[in-house]
Structure 1
Amino acid sequence: MSRRALVDLLDRNDDHVAALSSGSFDQHRDGQRPGVVSVCCSDSRVSQEGMFAVDEPGFLFTAGAIGNSVSALVDGERVLDGSVAYPLRHTETEVLAVVGHTGCGAVDAALTAARTGEFPPEPGIRADVEALVPIVEEGLSDPAVVGSAVDDANADGPADGAADEDPDSHADTSVRDRLVEYNVHEQVAFAGESEETADATVYGFVYDLHGAYGDRDGAVYLVNADGERDPAALRDLVGEAHADHVATLLER
């Protein structure tokens, strides 16, 4: 047991308590009515509360899953995960935000599995990766995923015939990040077809920590709104002040 980690956790909780305003829980002690449920990849670099500057209780219902998956396998059937379905059906939550992120290890593992048949040995991790493999395989057949990545790799490749130590590395990174966005679209589509989201709005975002969408680390980029993926339409939706939060790696 790491005592240093334990002390760090308690110190951080002291900071949390000190930062709470007086009466923060007064309206929430007997129940919750969060406006948004967020499904984000389980990754230490991607804080759901942090990315949306949530520092008060009651606004954001959070669900973390490998590969920001919104589904669960129940009796052989894919259904909306309980952590997503619960707030939508029982706390009057009206917005679902599906948030992928650049450099996603789960998508990378699914990409490796799709190409080589190799899966992580841990049963729980393997099951989560297996759920992503069909999405990755579909994405690999989409020219917007693979074609654009190859074009990017060629455009950014060494000039004047210079040797590249790993000629596939940039293409693979581009493919992975495009698959991240592709996966967000697929998760939004699955959620949108679920009975539990009938009265909800479903947004898809990508959290960028690699400069793939823009030059602001930690920015979220809207890529989908209830199935709408056209950047111009999404910019109209968010308005001029937030137009820089709309981008896509999957231009067709």
Structure 2
Amino acid sequence: MNGTVVDLLAGNARHAEQFADRFDDVQDAQHPAAVTVCCSDSRVLQDRMWGNEQPGHLFTVGNIGNRVVQRGEGGEEVSDDVLYPIAHTGTGTAVVVGHTGCGAVTGTYQALADDRTEPDGIEHCLSLLAPHLEAGVAALPDGLDAAEAVNRLVEYNVDQQVASLVESERVPGAVDVVGTVYDFQDVYGGQRGEIHVVNVDGERRVDALRDDHPEIEDRIGRIWEY
């Protein structure tokens, strides 16, 4: 057997031993407190970033670029994998999690800048991001290097995904929508792996967010207020 699979199964054995008694209350149903929409980048630890070790607590959705949208018959709409816990399990909080150095944002930025092409499947995903990032690319300040530009667009992409949820008729108005960035590149000045809140229900002004949410004031911050 492939050695990587052997190692994965050994890790799963440790997991099963630790978690065996934690499924009693969720074997037949789930009622997660939040749905998190994260990038599927291997450096983004979807449950561990929240310290979560409880099955049933988080409904985790992963894709490249932490997208909340898909193409439907009538055009772009909220993705069904994001909508499912909101519609069927009573989940009242949605958290969009971007991350520093995002490859999907980088690829979309490059495609918008110089018409870079990708294999069809990747191109499909980037084409869902591109319409949301195009105005952000145009608004970038002059003189940024590529990494600085990408990390500003990471925030911009989170803002756009939050807006897609807030403005969608498919998402009840009572659902709280929070936009965040997971930082492992020392961009935000905190510890590596910290999550920084950049948007709440469409509000992205740092001063306003800190006034509205003083209990998490030290976790609110942006690198780009456009």
Shift of 1:237: 3.9
Distance across 2 between alignment mates of 1:195 and 1:221: 27
RMSD of aligned Cα (Å) = 1.5
AA matched with 1:48:
Q
Q: Please identify which structure carries the higher helix content.
A: 1
Match of 1:134 in 2: 131
TM-score, with normalisation over the residues of structure 1? 0.85
Is it true that 1:229 corresponds to 2:204 in the alignment? yes
Contact 2:98–2:180 under 8 Å retained in 1: yes
- Identity %, equivalent residues: 40
Structure 2 unpaired stretches of 5+: none
Is it true that 1:57 corresponds to 2:31 in the alignment? no
Match of 2:8 in 1: 9
Distance across 2 between alignment mates of 1:105 and 1:53: 25
Distance across 2 between alignment mates of 1:131 and 1:109: 12
- For residues 105-146 of structure 1, the C-alpha deviation after alignment (integer angstroms, 9 at most, x for no partner) is 0000001100111121x211000111112222210222xxx2
AA matched with 2:193:
G
Match of 2:191 in 1: 216
Match of 1:250 in 2: 224
Name segments (4+ residues, structure 1) moved above 6 Å. Answer: none
Q: How many residues align?
A: 225
Q: Which has the larger radius of gyration?
A: 1
Contact 2:70–2:128 under 8 Å retained in 1: no
Shift of 1:173: 0.8
- The 5 Å alignment of 1:6-85 reads 6-20=5-19, 22=21, 24-75=22-73, 77-85=75-83
Contact 1:100–1:184 under 8 Å retained in 2: yes
Distance across 2 between alignment mates of 1:107 and 1:119: 14
Match of 1:185 in 2: 159
Shift of 1:196: 2.9
AA matched with 2:220:
V
Contact 1:33–1:59 under 8 Å retained in 2: yes
